[in-house]
Homo-oligomer: A and B are copies of this chain.
Amino acid sequence: LAHQTDDIFETGGASALLLGGNGFLGRHLAKALSARGVSVRIYGRGAHRETEADYTYVQGDFATGEGLAEALNDVDIVYHLISTTIPSTSNADPLFDTQSNVGGTLRLLEQMKATGVNRIVFTSSGGTVYGNPNIVPVPEDHPLQPLCSYGVVKVAIECYLRLYSSLHGLNATVLRLANPFGPGNARIGVQGVIPTLFAKIAERAPIEIWGDGSVVRDYIYVDDAVDAMLQAASWSGFRLYNVGSGVGHSLLEIMRTVERTTGLTANAVFQHARSFDVNEIYLDISKITSETTWRPRVSLDAGCQLLWSAMR
């Protein structure tokens, strides 16, 4: 295994800053870090509204850099999970997208350099940076041809992390995540496909399927994604990995899994396909599994059972 270093959380007393720590993934990560004895500081626009006793909060706007300097004070590692946009709306204003997110990340990197914080883990987007893949599973060295500004921004940020690692010795890990799912999606409004299907089937509501349901995606259980983020804290140099389940599932397979898990029957309503959807994408995870000890542990079935238990 290449470049493994000591676990930076092992000795205790470590401190992590989570940019976007109030999101779905951030909440799970915060909990896992806290359980390992890491002091968790959460930065974001809503950070003042949702205070929990276990964490400290710095309220700020990533688009302007407000509050970032304060947030960086005395932290050992930064988890960069923040974005001012989401994929489906990012094309409406690419200028804002790049100025706020690429610009925001560069302000962050300059402040990290100035304050000596030399460790960052960035969640990139396995579903958008490749665009419509020539091959599945898609490996990391596949051409990057994003079909939304959100993906272009992720590509640019990845490049800058590699550059700062090369120029300034930054320890930077890029994780190109598949679609994470698990308990808690619903709380923040961006549910994702799997929790949406569970919610609709539980309400006996019609389930809209775009196209014929053959669209294939990569779904990773949130604990597996968090596990990769925890391990990445101790890696050195620049590293970039796909983090997915290793398998693709069609929307119809997801629906059948949800039916099996709940014992209920879905009321599927088929709609016209959306032209901007990539037909099939899932990630080649052989690089991370060969270079590190990380593996996806939770299958789609097991993850759906955990999610359904939590929802009931």
Contact = CB atoms under 8 A, between A and B. Distances in A.
A102 B156 contact: yes
A217 interface: no
Contacts of A107: 95
Interface string A151-165: 110011001101100
Contact of A163 (B143, B149, B162): B149
Nearest to A95: B106
A163 B146 contact: yes
Contacts of A159: 144-146, 151-152, 155-156
A268 to B, nearest CB: 30
Contact of A156 (B141, B145, B155, B166): B155
A102 B97 CA distance: 11
B166 A147 contact: yes
A149 B155 CA distance: 13
B163 A156 contact: no
A304 to B, nearest CB: 34
B103 A99 contact: yes
A179 interface: no
Interface in A194-252: none
Interface of A: 91, 94-95, 98-99, 102-103, 106-107, 110, 141, 143-149, 151-152, 155-156, 159-160, 162-163, 166-167
